[in-house]
Amino acid sequence: MQLAEKLDGLKGAKLLNDAFFNEFTLRLPKPAKEVVEALAARGILGGVPASRLWPDEPEAENLLLLAATEMNTDADMDALVAALEEVL
């Protein structure tokens, strides 16, 4: 998927899925909750921190769950990538 390829390796980010449909998980170099809040301040919905789903799992802290479909334009994906570059 185009978005996953753009995000893999972005300032220490690592794609964790070898195969997926629309959803994938990205390991970030910092807590995903902080990243999502920083993206929201820029008007970008940047996924779900895995820690929301698994609050008692410390290894979930830096995991970000993302999804992209045919409804997401290249401009949408580029905006997310650019914003992540700023906040990571």
Residue with the larger pLDDT of the pair 37 and 68:
37
Task: Give the C-alpha separation, 75 to 79, whole Å.
Answer: 6
Per the prediction, the chain carries an average pLDDT of 92
The answer for 27, left when phi > 0, alpha when psi is -120 to 50, beta otherwise, is beta
Delineate the domains of the chain, giving CATH numbers in brackets: 2-87 (3.90.1150.10)
Query: At residue 6, does pLDDT exceed 90?
Result: no
State the average pLDDT over residues 8-37: 91
pLDDT higher than 80, residue 1: no
2 pLDDT higher than 90:
no
